Copies of this chain bind each other. A is one copy, B any other.
Amino acid sequence: MSRKLEVLRAIVEDYVATEEPVGSKSLAERHALGVSPATIRNDMALLEEEGFITQPHTSAGRVPTDKGYRLFVDRLAGVKPLSAAERRAIESFLEGAVDLDDVIGRTVRLLSQITRQVAVVQYPSLTRSTVRHIELVNLGTRRVMIVLITDTGRVEQRILDAKAEVSDILLGELRARANALCVGKRLNELPDLLISLAPRADQEEEVLSSLVVSMILEMAIEQSEERIVLSGTANLARLGPDFTHSVRPVLEALEEQVVLLRLLGDAAESMTVRIGHEHELHSLQGTSLVATGYGRAGEPVGTMGILGPTRMDYPGSIASVRAVAQYVGNFLTESGS
């Protein structure tokens, strides 16, 4: 690898470590590059011309630009092995998890702890998972509870206000048919399948079943229920006083579920790193996202990742996110089928 790139890597590493602009002299000292500061200065001048680094003001050290970070993660970042403590934490954090909420909660906390950044975890997406069971419960007083259980352990329920009293027998029939039709199918197939449930001679049943069907569809489709949880927002405040003015917009953005969905939405299956201005939202300019899908091998059901300052430890973050995602994926697959 050319020395110029070696210098860029050194700059990124030092800057991430010290959080201060790095100059040619300290660079020559801390890294065994085998050349003098003057030579490094020449390389740095070139790197600056090409837009990989800048100086905040004349006569200060250099700081990587977003473009510089991009090159770094694409071509220069090696894999950083996890520490023993991290590995241990990952292997034990799911012990004793009782339900899906618990699993997701533990995951997001773990991620924020080991990366010391804001962690973001999307619940297993309803549309990508399959139906394990549909339950209809007669609550009396003209109310029916509908429960939808997916193979990823997610349980969604609604209470339906039927217009008339509901007969248990009728409900049982409906339940049986709904399950026969839907179990094992993906949620996004439901609309087509459920059509055949609707037409039926009996008047009473007609009303009820169409209500039930529409409610199930609502549950399956409604994207707003694509929940995302986050943790570790306190880590944002750690970013030195220079970040203080920008922490508010970031926090505000993070409170919008929609923004989070968009944030993770494009981050498809494989490891995705989005740096600074690569975000659409410009309140997230100073931050980077490291995210990946999780779930069955090659068939992710959701996305998780971390969000931190562009000046972050990419190799470490990538390693952590990947390891956690893999572990959770295995866990869901094992316990889920």
Q: B135, B232, B248: which contacts A237 (Cβ < 8 A)? A: B248
A145→B148 CA distance, assembly (Å): 12
Contact among B99, B139, B157 with A132 in the assembled complex (CB-CB below 8 Å)? B139
Task: Check if B145 sits within 8 Å of A153, measured CB to CB.
Answer: no
- Report the separation of the CA atoms of residues A233 and B247 in the bound assembly, to the nearest whole angstrom: 11
Which A residues are closer than 8 A to B by beta carbons?
98-99, 132-133, 135, 137, 139, 145, 147, 149, 153, 155, 157-159, 231-234, 236-238, 241, 244, 247-248, 251-252, 254-255
- A337 and chain B: residue at smallest CB distance: B141
A-B contact pairs, 29 of them (CB 8 A): A99-B158, A99-B159, A132-B139, A135-B135, A135-B137, A135-B147, A139-B149, A145-B149, A145-B155, A147-B147, A147-B157, A153-B159, A155-B157, A231-B255, A232-B255, A233-B233, A233-B251, A234-B248, A234-B251, A234-B252, A234-B254, A234-B255, A236-B251, A237-B244, A237-B247, A237-B248, A237-B251, A238-B248, A244-B244
When A159-B99, A255-B232 are in contact, do A145 and B139 touch as well, CB less than 8 Å?
Answer: no
**Number of identical protomers:** 2
Q: In the complex, what's the smallest C-beta–C-beta distance from A123 to chain B, in angstroms?
A: 12
- Partner of A145 from the list B133, B238, B241, B244 (CB cut-off 8 Å) is B133
Q: What are the residues of chain B within 8 A of A158 when measuring CB–CB?
A: 98-99
A265 to chain B, nearest CB (A): 20
**Considering the chains assembled together, what is the distance between the CA atoms of A231 and B257 in angstroms?**
12
Contacts of A139 in B (CB 8 A): 132-133, 149
Chain B residues with CB below 8 A from A233, complex form: 233, 251, 255
Bound complex: CA of A232 vs CA of B255, how far in Å?
7
